[in-house]
Amino acid sequence: MKWMFAGCLLLALIALGACASPPTAGGGGGGGAPSVPTTGGSGGGGAGDMPSVPTTGGSGGGGAGEMPSVPTTGSPAPSTGNGDMGNDDEAGGSDVDDAATTAGAVGSTDTAEASADASAEGGISEEPAMTADERKRALARKLDESLNDFDSTLEDEQRRTAAERDARTASAASTRGDEIGDEGRGSGGRSGDLRSERDRRQSTVAGGARGSGGAAGGARDRGAVGAGSGAPDRGIPSGDDDDIVARRLRRAAEQETDPELKEKLWQEYIEYKRNAQG
């Protein structure tokens, strides 16, 4: 009987010790080190998966190992692996996000579903330590971060496309030799943008087009896009009121991979904007 009691006590002690111990890297379903921004949408693991960056609470409540309130970014970056990182306190947010995504909540516009998701979103709304304003700010920050991450994804993709196009153009120019020569790099070889486009446009009427995809219209997070797009940090006018030509130039500058040419394109953009504004 004594032995049994001692055994139970020992087991209880071990269990308590395990719970109280600080999170360690890796491991199975238990603790894990918070490290990489959570992926928010891309799969992740199944039950027991943890968001990789602590969110502001969660259904698990407080307790040992509670992390500071850093919102998850929710970007569609690759999953961080087995999904067994983080600690139990953070089980709310991204885990549910992943579940919703992988469960096929495709294109849902259902408010009820969105609200359900929202309630689980990072557990922000259930964090007892936060006021409503703080929660709002945290969500807004999370949205901003998500937008920035998406910008990076898009920029990477655009950069890759531009690099491929450059390589193709260079290859075509080299095979054609003198026929194309130097102009292959600048405008002639890159149909659909830059100078050729601009000349064509200027020969017609600029038409007073508006900004990006014509869709932006209103406020734009300049900091995020501007920095990410590789725009030099000096005197780049806002792209909010860009017409088609300006927009093309801006996009070309953003996508250009050659720093020298990029600089020239930005100059051209600035000059064009200055002229357009009189």
**Which residue, 68 or 192, has its beta carbon nearer to other proteins?**
192
**Which residue, 82 or 212, has its beta carbon nearer to other proteins?**
212
- Report whether 240 contacts 214 (CB < 8 A): no
Listing DSSP states for 134-151 in one string gives: HHHHHHHHHHHHHHHHHH
CB atoms within 10 A of CB 269: 25
- Report whether 65 contacts 21 (CB < 8 A): no
Distance separating alpha carbons of residues 187 and 175, to the nearest angstrom: 17
Shortest spacing between CB 143 and other proteins, in angstroms: 5
**Which residue, 22 or 192, has its beta carbon nearer to other proteins?**
192
Shortest spacing between CB 192 and other proteins, in angstroms: 5
Shortest spacing between CB 20 and other proteins, in angstroms: 25
Task: Give the phi and the psi of residue 32 in degrees, each rounded to 5.
Answer: -165, 155
**Which residue, 33 or 130, has its beta carbon nearer to other proteins?**
130
Distance separating alpha carbons of residues 7 and 20, to the nearest angstrom: 20
Shortest spacing between CB 67 and other proteins, in angstroms: 19
Residue listed under structure tokens 């579940």: 99
Sign, CA torsion 113/105/84/36? negative
Shortest spacing between CB 219 and other proteins, in angstroms: 5
CB atoms within 10 A of CB 31: 23
**Which residue, 31 or 225, has its beta carbon nearer to other proteins?**
225
- Report whether 243 contacts 273 (CB < 8 A): no
Shortest spacing between CB 114 and other proteins, in angstroms: 3
**Which residue, 75 or 87, has its beta carbon nearer to other proteins?**
75
